[in-house]
Structure 1
Amino acid sequence: MTNMREVNFEKPSYEDWKVAAESALKGKPFESLLTKTIEGITLEPLYTKETLFEKLDGKLEEQTSTIRSMKTEGAFGVAQAAYGNNIEEFVAQSEESIKRGNEFVSIGKVNFNWTDEALQKLGTLLSNHPFRINVEDPAVLNVFKYIENKNQIGYIQSNEHYTIEGFPNVRNTNAYTVDAHYNGATSTQELAIALAQAADQIKDTNFEDFEKKFFASFAVDTHFFMAVSKIRAFRVLWKAFAKAYGIEKPQPVKILTETSLRSFSKLDVYVNLLRAGNEAFSAVIGGADLVTVHPHNILTGPTNQSVRIARNVALVIKEESQVTRVFDPAGGSYFIETLTNELVKDAWAYFLEIQEAGGYTAAKSMIDTDLEKSWNERIEKVQKRKTVLVGTNNYADPTEEVPSEDFVTVNRLAEPFENLRIAFKEHPMNVQIIPFGQLKTTKPRTDFVKGVLATAGIEPEVTEPSTDISIIQQTLKNSTADYVIISATDDDLTENIDAILAAKPATVILDAAGKFKTDWTERGLNSYVFAGINIYEKLTGVQASMKEVQR
């Protein structure tokens, strides 16, 4: 019997793997394994040490050591936000949260005004605990008149700069990229914008004083590895930024993160909990200093239970995942190190472009145009299902209604589909799917069409499949539906399209499931429903056509 310890296996090269992959693809091109991100970065199907060294030009150790030197040692801080209808509820919820593992009093949107009485009670709370203030209402900053502990640690998050005197441990100079994030920014754009904001802010001070008050704020989206790499990349960029000011050994840069609401939906809201968990874990892997997890129902109004669940997401990561036992858990990963390097190069190039245009403030119009382009690309990908929002544009529950409440309002990718569902509820239509052929051949397209309709809250009537064209014709003639989709194979529909169109009532909007080489729209067919179609535009168009027919 062979002693396995004495057996040596030949190490396959990248080319060997590529040949095997092409064979497994059975005719599809190798390029089909490549994925291009919205940042313009091409994701490879395989990363190796050799390709990593080639990409980084032998500077892997320099990159990892920079990331580690720019990160403060110790686990991340849990900064769960509190809410409340009045200051008493807010303080009680914050104190209870601290008892249950929260480490920072976190202030954002609240349902009450910051009166002197409220500020006094908040000041007492902040005198005893470190804090994070996301400035929704500038009036909250009057709390510093009531904070007795002048050495308390704190962060002031805002896209505006506020001067805070007499609190040496409060950081009030913030590269705030969250607004850009909700306007569609890519990771590359967010990183460059953070540097550009810092460059604008540093003009009136020296770097040593500046870095003591500076920190960066990022929203963390659902692209796990991109989010990890974004946070790591900023530390590399910050080292390069400091060097431009003649600083060879800058202090570790503080990075505050919050889970993004860009992919949150009012539909199937518990999926938001999964999104938040994914985002929070990527922030921790990337090396965030503070993590805020938004409750899954924050769009319509958080509850005590949802706040506790959100806080426990961070606590489970911190206490149970063991990830905080490793200082740089992503360090050395061929994929993440390569992605980090790509972001560093591209973000620095965009930062220089902003600086050449006069800096962040002067280049705001250019930046806004770039962000709008990114946002439109994101929306189009969601509408075409190239980006899936589970429970919203795919795997949707057609019976679910969109809640009317709004607690937090930001740009979200799910909004077009939520609005579509509201529109169809206000102006309902009868929809029918007629399968032509055997069940096994029609079911895939029938199920696909049902899934498309479900995104608008439509539950269609599905007739029994039939291979008899006369039955299909009679079903269509007798249909009382406003909108009918024929589900058949390419061959069956091509052979019988004339007979089907001849039976179509003038008041019925008729579509075919699938994408065909021949266009039958001039012969009476309305359009087609197929994978890759812009679902939002398609269903909006159907509704508009129905209104025209009904006039």
Structure 2
Amino acid sequence: MTNMREVTFEQATYADWKTAAEGALKGKPFESLLTKTIEGITLEPLYTKESLFEKIDGKLEEQISTIRTMKAEGAFGVAQAAYGENIEAFIAQAKDALQRGNQYVTVGKVAFEWTEDALKQLGALLSAHPFRLNIEDEAVLGVFEFITNKEQVGYVQSTQPIDLPDFPNVRTFNANVLSAHYEGATSIQELAIALAQAAEFMKGASFEEVEKKFFVSFALDTHFFMAIAKIRAFRVLWKAFAKAYGVETPQPVHIATETSLRSFSKLDVYVNLLRAGNEAFSAVIGGADLLTVHPHNILTGPTNQSVRIARNVALVIKEESQVTKVIDPSGGSYFIETLTHDLVKEAWAYFLKIEEAGGYEAASEMIEADLQASWSERIEKVKKRKTVLVGTNNYADATEEVPAETFVEVNRLAQPFEELRVTFKEHPMKAQILTYGELKTTKPRTDFVKGVLATAGIVPEVTEPTVDLTEIVHMLTTTTADYVVLSATDEDTKAVMEALLAAKPEHVIFDVAGKFDANWTEKGLNGYIFAGLNIYEKLTTVHASMKEVQR
């Protein structure tokens, strides 16, 4: 028997792998394996030690060391938000969360006013536990009059610095990029904006004064590796930022994170659980100091059960994954280290651009325009399904209705399709798929069209496949549908299209599955349904045409 310890294998080179990959692609170019992100970073299909060293120019150890020294000791803090219709319900939920593993009292959206009595009750709770305050209502700041433990640890998340000299362990200089995130910011833009906000704080204080009270707030999206790299990159950037102010050994920078709602949807809400879990795990691997996981149904209103599930996402990661027992879990990964370096380089360049424009406040119009461009690109990708939102723009349940309730309102990628579904609910459209050919040849396109229509909440009638031209023409001429789509192979479509167009009733909106170079639209064809199409625009146009015909 062979002793496997003595067996050696010839090490394959990148060139060997590339040759094998090109063979497996069967004629497709190798470049088809490259992926360009919204940040403008090109992701390679394979990363090697050699490619990493070449990219980082011998500074890998310095990058890893910086990330680790800029991280505060200890595992991340679980900061589950509490909610409530009144202060009593909020306090009860917060106390229950603390008993079940929560570590930071975190104020979520509440439906009551911060009266003196409410502030006293909150103050008593914050006197005994670390906290994270998100200042949406400035009235909550009155709680500091009722916090008896002046040494308590806390984070005050706000767009403006807050002066709390009597609370030395409460961080109040917050680089808050959450609003930029929901305006569409890329990871590069978020990192640069955070530095630019920090630079604004420096105008009225020394670096040493600011760093004692400073922290940054990031929302983490579903792009797993990019989210990990974003957190790591900020630590490298903070070291460079400190050096620009003459500080060689800054204190570790604190990073508070929360799961992003940008990809959340009111449709198929349990998919939001998967999104939140993905985002939370990336936060922990990236080295976040604080983590808030939003409940999967927060868009319409959290429940005690959904709050508990969200909290348990963080607890399972902390207690069962063992990832917190590893210093910098992603450190040394060729891919993540390369991505971290790319983000550092590009974010620093964008930060300098902001500073050259006069700083964060002076460059607000430039930043706003850049964020708008990023948001438009994100929305366009969702509408074309280049970015998939499971249960919303792909793999949708056509029978599901969009809940009317709204508890939290932020810019979300799912909103266009939610609104589209409401539009079709208010003005229903009857749709039919004509299948011409054998089932095995028509089914792929039929399923594709059904999937497209499902995003608008449409369940079409699907005819039995037929190879009889007379029968398919009869089906079209006698249809009661407002909208009809032909599903057939390219060859069969070309064979029957002229006859179908000649027989098509004037009131029927007629499309074909597939993409063709033909002049059929001049003969009455409405258009085509194919992969890569802007399906939101297509369905919106079809609905408008249907309403016009019905007038």
Q: Do the structures match in fold with TM over 0.5?
A: yes
Match of 2:216 in 1: 216
5 Å-filtered alignment, 1:408-419, equals: 408-419=408-419
Q: Which amino acid aligns with 1:339?
A: L
CA–CA distance in structure 2, aligned partners of residues 496 and 442 of structure 1: 14
Q: Does 1:440 align with 2:466?
A: no
- The structural deviation recorded for 1:164 is 1.8
5 Å-filtered alignment, 1:165-184, equals: 165-184=165-184
Q: Does 1:503 align with 2:487?
A: no
Match of 1:100 in 2: 100
Q: Does 1:300 align with 2:283?
A: no
- The structural deviation recorded for 1:503 is 1.2
Match of 2:116 in 1: 116
Match of 1:526 in 2: 526
Match of 1:449 in 2: 449
- The structural deviation recorded for 1:43 is 0.4
- The structural deviation recorded for 1:449 is 0.2
5 Å-filtered alignment, 1:226-241, equals: 226-241=226-241
Superposed CA deviations along residues 461-502 of structure 1, whole A, max 9, x for unmatched, are: 000010111100000000010000000111111122110101
Match of 2:317 in 1: 317
Superposed CA deviations along residues 514-551 of structure 1, whole A, max 9, x for unmatched, are: 11122410111000000000011000000001111112
Match of 1:468 in 2: 468
Match of 2:159 in 1: 159
Secondary structure at the counterpart of residue 73 of structure 1:
coil
**CA contact 1:119–1:140 (8 Å) conserved in 2:** yes
TM-score (norm 1): 0.99
Q: Which amino acid aligns with 1:487?
A: S
Match of 1:389 in 2: 389
CA–CA distance in structure 2, aligned partners of residues 196 and 343 of structure 1: 16
Match of 2:291 in 1: 291
CA–CA distance in structure 2, aligned partners of residues 455 and 162 of structure 1: 45
Superposed CA deviations along residues 246-290 of structure 1, whole A, max 9, x for unmatched, are: 000000000000000000000000000110000000000000000
Match of 1:12 in 2: 12
CA–CA distance in structure 2, aligned partners of residues 24 and 517 of structure 1: 30
5 Å-filtered alignment, 1:197-212, equals: 197-212=197-212
Q: Which amino acid aligns with 1:251?
A: Q
CA–CA distance in structure 2, aligned partners of residues 6 and 132 of structure 1: 56
- The structural deviation recorded for 1:73 is 1.2
Q: Does 1:78 align with 2:72?
A: no
- The structural deviation recorded for 1:47 is 0.3
Match of 2:372 in 1: 372
- The structural deviation recorded for 1:435 is 0.5
TM-score (norm 2): 0.99
Secondary structure at the counterpart of residue 299 of structure 1:
coil
Secondary structure at the counterpart of residue 297 of structure 1:
coil
**CA contact 1:108–1:135 (8 Å) conserved in 2:** no
Q: Does 1:401 align with 2:411?
A: no
CA–CA distance in structure 2, aligned partners of residues 213 and 428 of structure 1: 56
5 Å-filtered alignment, 1:17-32, equals: 17-32=17-32
- The structural deviation recorded for 1:2 is 4.7
Greater mean alpha carbon deviation, residues 313-322 or residues 199-208: 199-208
Match of 1:146 in 2: 146
Percent identity over the alignment? 74
- The structural deviation recorded for 1:175 is 0.3
Superposed CA deviations along residues 37-73 of structure 1, whole A, max 9, x for unmatched, are: 0000000000000000000001100000000000011
Secondary structure at the counterpart of residue 203 of structure 2:
helix
Match of 2:516 in 1: 516
Q: Does 1:60 align with 2:74?
A: no
CA–CA distance in structure 1, aligned partners of residues 533 and 115 of structure 2: 52
- The structural deviation recorded for 1:160 is 2.0
- The structural deviation recorded for 1:108 is 2.8
Secondary structure at the counterpart of residue 399 of structure 1:
coil
**CA contact 1:177–1:193 (8 Å) conserved in 2:** yes
Report how many residues are paired: 551
Secondary structure at the counterpart of residue 155 of structure 2:
strand
Match of 2:429 in 1: 429
Secondary structure at the counterpart of residue 109 of structure 1:
strand
Secondary structure at the counterpart of residue 538 of structure 2:
helix
Q: Which amino acid aligns with 1:441?
A: T
Greater mean alpha carbon deviation, residues 242-251 or residues 154-163: 154-163
Secondary structure at the counterpart of residue 313 of structure 1:
helix
Match of 1:225 in 2: 225
- The structural deviation recorded for 1:4 is 3.7
CA–CA distance in structure 1, aligned partners of residues 292 and 190 of structure 2: 18
Match of 2:47 in 1: 47
- Could you list the structure 1 runs, at least 4 aligned residues long, displaced by more than 4 angstroms after superposition: none
Aligned Cα root-mean-square deviation (Å): 0.7
Superposed CA deviations along residues 77-131 of structure 1, whole A, max 9, x for unmatched, are: 0000000000011111111100100000001311111011111111111111010
Match of 1:252 in 2: 252
CA–CA distance in structure 1, aligned partners of residues 477 and 518 of structure 2: 24
Q: Does 1:484 align with 2:484?
A: yes
**CA contact 1:108–1:136 (8 Å) conserved in 2:** no
- The structural deviation recorded for 1:162 is 2.0
Match of 2:336 in 1: 336
CA–CA distance in structure 2, aligned partners of residues 229 and 73 of structure 1: 19
CA–CA distance in structure 2, aligned partners of residues 332 and 5 of structure 1: 26
Structure 2: stretches of 5+ with no match in the other structure: none
Secondary structure at the counterpart of residue 486 of structure 1:
strand
- The structural deviation recorded for 1:10 is 1.4
Match of 2:459 in 1: 459
Structure 1: stretches of 5+ with no match in the other structure: none
- The structural deviation recorded for 1:3 is 4.3
Q: Which amino acid aligns with 1:346?
A: E
Match of 1:548 in 2: 548
- The structural deviation recorded for 1:7 is 3.2
**CA contact 1:417–1:455 (8 Å) conserved in 2:** yes
Superposed CA deviations along residues 275-318 of structure 1, whole A, max 9, x for unmatched, are: 00000000000000000000000000000000000000000000
Secondary structure at the counterpart of residue 83 of structure 1:
strand
Secondary structure at the counterpart of residue 528 of structure 1:
strand
Secondary structure at the counterpart of residue 433 of structure 1:
strand
CA–CA distance in structure 2, aligned partners of residues 441 and 126 of structure 1: 65
CA–CA distance in structure 2, aligned partners of residues 517 and 335 of structure 1: 42
